[in-house]
Amino acid sequence: MSDTPDARPDETRPDETRPAPTDEQASQGTTPATPDVPTASAPPADAPVGRSASAPQLEAPDAREALVRVRDEVAKAVVGQDAAAAGMLVALLCRGHILLEGVPGVAKTLLVRTLAASLDVGTKRVQFTPDLMPGDLTGSLVFDAKDGEFSFRPGPVFTQLLLADEINRTPPKTQSALLEAMEERQVSVDGTPHALPAPFLVAATQNPVEYEGTYPLPEAQLDRFLLKVVLPVPEREQEMTVLQRHAAGFDPRDLAAAGVRPVASAADIDAGAAAVRSVEVSPEVVGYVVDIARATRTSPSLALGVSPRGATALLATARAWAWLSGRGYVTPDDVKALAVATLAHRLTLRPEAELEGTSVTSVLHGVLSSVPVPR
């Protein structure tokens, strides 16, 4: 099951994450279906939690429509990874970065390339290896014999969508150089800062198998990623669709032949990011986010709970998801829908819980079930 909400909230498929179950549903072993997405309209007299009677209307609707169309373009080349595409859009709107985890061959690289083609932004891929140096990523000074002086030659990090493939296979020194660029949106070479282009998204991948010879990201560095998305192996019907496309001549290296075209731009992302910052968050929803974060810190199964930065990240992703869903306000369902993808990689299990086979995701779902939902 994926750890991000469905890219099409009005549909349900077996490989997509639903909002966390309520106490009654958890006891019955059922999970609620993803709710229909309401459209922006005048607030009813009994406005739901998260929306006041004077809530603003949805801003930048044209940008939202353009970004929604991006998901349809991605589906022309990538099958069964709608949730991951939605997570990347949320990360772009929040000016964050995303960690993609999946076994080889589940279209991680193709997903990033297709999303970049749909947004008409630049993209580069870097294969992280044990001998990759920071300068190989950020760039370095090169002596120009003609001018007799050193000039800066930008590295592959100077792009808009960077696929950092198998980030856990490179030493911490190179990992830190990338994380610095992610946080500061610039790199410094010989004391001179060089700004990165905007928008700037790092989609880092790691393989959940074959950990020998790897350098796992420590918890403090994992916390720098806004979202972590697990890309599942497609269902049987989806895998048949993949093979049928290849049998019909689909070439993953030629996205234009597959019909993928730019339907949004960097300007739409900028407009969407500004609109997301105006999405209303009621005090009840803020308290709900805080209560979830504090509940993880007191969980007996966790050695490390969610930090205030993690709570802030959950609030930001919930606002982005509300805007993408066509609303100018955040509801508790938005918080639930993004909780696992935003918080799971920030939690650390106790050794005894790991020995019992407990997973971070199950603990987090338990936390969501135990925290009262504002009504």
Question: Would you list the DSSP string of 270-336?
Answer: HHHHHHHTTSB--HHHHHHHHHHHHHHHT-TTEEE---HHHHHHHHHHHHHHHHHTT-SB--HHHHH
Domain boundaries, the chain: 47-59+279-375, 62-277
- Residue 192 CB burial class (10 angstroms; 0-12, 13-18, ≥19): exposed
What are the CA-CA distances from residue 91 to residues 96, 163, 287, 375 (Å)?
A: 5, 14, 23, 28
How many C-beta atoms surround the C-beta of residue 355 within 10 A?
9
Give the tens place of pLDDT for each residue, 320-333: 999 999 999 999 99
SS3 state at 267: helix
pLDDT band at 42; cut points 50, 70, 90: very low
CATH (residue range 62-277): 3.40.50.300
Q: How far is CA 69 from the centre of its chain?
A: 18
Mean pLDDT computed over 126-133: 92
pLDDT band at 6; cut points 50, 70, 90: low
How many C-beta atoms surround the C-beta of residue 370 within 10 A?
13
Looking at residue 222, what is its pLDDT?
87
How many C-beta atoms surround the C-beta of residue 105 within 10 A?
9
Instruction: Pick the range with the lowest mean pLDDT from 25-29, 182-186, 225-229, 280-284.
Output: 25-29
Rounded-to-10 torsion of CA 361, 362, 363, 364: 50
Length of the chain: 375
Give the tens place of pLDDT for each residue, 56-93: 567 778 899 999 999 999 999 999 898 999 999 999 99
Of 55, 68, 86, give the one whose Cα is nearest residue 279: 55
Residue-wise DSSP of 194-241: EEPPSS-EEEEEE-SS--TT--PPPHHHHTT-SEEEE-PPPPHHHHHH
Helix 82-93 / helix 308-324 crossing angle, nearest 10 deg: 110
47-59+279-375 placed in CATH 1.10.8.80: yes
Q: How far is CA 358 from the centre of its chain?
A: 24
Q: How far apart are CA 153 and CA 162, in angstroms?
A: 17
Burial 237-274 (b: 16+ CB within 10 A, else e): ebeeeeeebeeeebeeeebeebebeebbebebbbbbbe
pLDDT band at 2; cut points 50, 70, 90: very low
Residue 135 has φ and ψ, to the nearest 5°, of: -65, -30
**Bridge-partner residues for 150, per DSSP?**
143
Residue-wise DSSP of 14-78: TTSBPPPPPHHHHHHT--PPPPPPPPP-PPPTTPPTT--TTPPPPS-HHHHHHHHHHHHHHHTT-
How many C-beta atoms surround the C-beta of residue 147 within 10 A?
8
